Chain A
Amino acid sequence: MTERKPRLLLGNEACVEGAIAAGLKFFAGYPITPSTEIAELCAAYLPKVGGKFMQMEDEIASMAAICGASLAGRKSMTATSGPGFSLKQENIGFAVQAEIPCVVVDVQRVGPSTGMPTSAAQGDVMQSRWGTHGDHEIVVLSPSSVLEAYTLTVSAFNIAEELRTPVILLMDEMVGHLREKVVLPDKSELAVKDRAKPELPPGQYKPYADYGDPSKVAPLAAFGEGYKYHVTGLTHGEDGFPTNNPDLGARQIKRINDKIASRKNDLPQAEELFTDDAEVFVFSYGGTARSAKKAVRDARAMGLKAGLIRPVTIWPFLEEPLLRAKAKEPKAVIVPEMNLGQIILPVKRVMGDACPVIGVNRLGGRYIEPEEILDAIKEAIHRGSAS
């Protein structure tokens, strides 16, 4: 195999290359910082691979258009940032309910509202989980490097296609605007997955089939293939038509929730560093995890037993690495986030009273420095030894 040359790529650029490698054929978006490069590069690159780019009249229309394109059989994506992510929420819920595969990129910036448009934050963590109304599960992935912006975009498409669901790639400005030397995987090394197509003839096809096993997902016919099926945001039966039957309705809602929960182990798992003998764990994701990794390495160099858990799938919340940490009776779990404390809430829930769970939180767009996390590690180990 010939050695590939390293390239200097922007996180947003790697996301677009990953999307095209995964088979993206339709992008709809609306200009917004700091995600705009994704739209601009889709406008430039997609037509070269027979794909289409559309700049829609607003964020809501962009989300609607990718749902439509996906139902017509094309892999679809949109990208946005804070305010635009808020606007997309209703139609994200439609994609959840109608089980439409698509990818939504949110390059987080400082909020609430217009906030600080070019500055980094991780304030959309809870919105990515609960932004749309009603009971639902959603898959949210968080890259922390330019390479991961590429590989996780491919994963996002694969998960969307396999689970028939919207997948959110929750980037942050740090990663989106990071320029890093990367060697992208060769296309032949990528596993690209496509949605299952119906094997039953029209008339027998159930677009929302309930197999009694929520991990099994009904195939999705494309519009125009002769299946003549119905898609609605209303709670529906297996044939896709609305139902007011309380039992059928409850069953459908439960099924789309269990669908994702039952496939937790298939989702990208956490990266762990020095967790075998760690006394203090740092739980960190996205751009902030870069500082966390350095802090943990520096702590080890000083003889302090720190370990890193970096969740790659943010939602559903994968408890397993934390449960293993909990079994080691750690002195503390430190959760650095560029918000007032969002992912720390499920971390606290899992850890219970086992140990202190300490937030390191920054606002206003300033990155969290490794020293700030290292200080928290030192303090936790010192306090843990004193008690």
Chain B
Amino acid sequence: MALPLEKYLRVGKLPHIWCPGCGHGIITQAIIRAIDETGLNSDKTVVVSGIGCSSRAPGYMNFDTLHTTHGRALPFATGIKMANPELNVIVITGDGDAAAIGGNHLIHAARRNIGLTVICFNNNIYGMTSGQYSPLTPTGSYASTAPYGMVERPFDLCELVKGAGGSFVARSTAYHTRHLTNVIKDALKYDGFAFVDALSQCPTYFGRRNKLRTPLDMLNWMRDHAVPGSSWDKMTPEEKEGKFPIGVLVNKPSQELTKVYDELLAKAAAEGGRG
């Protein structure tokens, strides 16, 4: 008997390549649950990714799927959305993919407000290449390229996207599975650029080096440090120390790019351009 969500998976391509205890499967499941509950037409839904552990997820998902080059999922997805705005375009990326090599594309996609739903599987490490530090690795943490501890400061991805003009920004974690599904649903319903920072655990390459030896330790860490957005705003800076807000952090209406472009097309047809 087929399971209810099985139609969204390429069952023949399983088992997946992720390590035991990895959070990426939990986030992938949250995405397909959100797609199911939102009722997206799977024939009109495209999933695009870059390079890294997270970016293998689309290969297991039964849609038109595109596994691109490192950091470039967003501009590939931008081309798809511009070419056919009726498609639902979901981008799966990681913290290295989205914030390091693809950081420029992230801020510009947010600035343009193009209709893409971006889920960043943020495990704050380069897992695929076995544990180098990323722009999300917390200061002082250990990584294969930070054997004496990370000396740089990490990004706050939600603040970054907000600063670039992102009008839908949310965060959740692999611990908060129902909450994660709900914020992804809100992101899928948002007409514009929607960004979800989805915290994931990498026990193999982050946890083992950073006194979070088991997947459970890492999930409990998420539980203990996540604060609902509604409470976050009432907290003092001292109370916020080491914690992070979850939930839909920004959600304001803003006209989506391909719809603005439709107006341009009508104008060009009517009067012609200048310049």
Contact = CB atoms under 8 A, between A and B. Distances in A.
Contact of A47 (B64, B68, B268): B268
Given A91-B72, A233-B69, A223 B264 contact: no
Contact of A64 (B42, B44, B76, B275): B76
Contacts of A214: none
A224 B46 contact: yes
A71 B66 contact: yes
Contact of B43 (A48, A67, A228): A228
Contacts of A288: none
Nearest to A54: B82
Nearest to A94: B69
A1 B130 CA distance: 69
A227 B264 CA distance: 31
B58 interface: yes
B76 A65 contact: yes
A104 to B, nearest CB: 14
Interface in B152-209: none
B95 to A, nearest CB: 19
A173 B44 CA distance: 43
A47 B265 contact: yes
A72 B84 contact: yes
Interface string B38-53: 0000111010100000
Nearest to B62: A228
B77 A68 contact: yes
A44 B83 contact: no
Contacts of B81: 68
Given A40-B275, A72-B84, A231 B67 contact: yes
Interface string B68-91: 110010111111111110110000
By DSSP majority rule, is chain A's interface helix, strand, loop, or mixed?
mixed
A227 B78 contact: no
B84 A73 contact: yes
A145 B65 CA distance: 41
Given A224-B43, A228-B43, A232-B59, A57 B104 contact: yes
Given A228-B62, A229-B64, A68 B275 contact: no
Nearest to A65: B79
Contacts of B259: none
A157 interface: no
Contact of B69 (A52, A64, A226): A64
A72 B48 CA distance: 12
Contact of B75 (A68, A73, A223): A68
Given A68-B48, A71-B66, A227-B64, A47 B80 contact: no
Given A64-B68, A230-B65, A52 B261 contact: yes
Interface in B223-275: 261, 264-265, 267-269, 272-273, 275
Contacts of B213: none
B42 A65 contact: no
Nearest to B258: A52
B121 interface: no
Nearest to A40: B275
Nearest to A93: B69
Interface string A215-226: 000000011111
Contacts, number: 143
A153 B84 CA distance: 24
Interface string A17-33: 00000000110100000
A72 B84 CA distance: 6
Contact of B64 (A26, A52, A69, A224): A224
B66 to A, nearest CB: 5
Contacts of A43: 273, 275
Interface string A125-140: 0000000000000000
A60 B87 contact: no
Contact of A233 (B44, B68, B83, B267): B68
A347 to B, nearest CB: 34
Interface in A34-76: 40, 43-44, 47-48, 50, 52, 54, 56-58, 60-62, 64-74, 76
Interface in B125-155: none
A196 interface: no
A253 B86 CA distance: 34
B105 A57 contact: yes
Contact of A90 (B44, B69, B77): B69
B80 A69 contact: yes
A231 B65 contact: yes
Nearest to A25: B83
B7 to A, nearest CB: 11
9 contacts: A43-B275, A44-B273, A56-B78, A57-B75, A61-B72, A64-B75, A68-B77, A74-B84, A224-B64
Interface of B: 13, 42-44, 46, 48, 58-59, 62-69, 72, 74-84, 86-87, 104-105, 108, 261, 264-265, 267-269, 272-273, 275
Q: Which 10 A-B pairs have CB atoms at the shortest separation, nearest pair first?
A: A68-B79, A47-B268, A65-B79, A72-B83, A61-B75, A64-B75, A69-B79, A69-B83, A232-B67, A68-B76
Given A48-B269, A56-B75, A70-B79, 19 more contacts: A47-B269, A54-B78, A60-B72, A61-B74, A61-B75, A64-B75, A65-B82, A68-B79, A71-B66, A72-B79, A73-B84, A223-B66, A224-B46, A228-B63, A228-B64, A229-B65, A231-B67, A232-B59, A241-B59
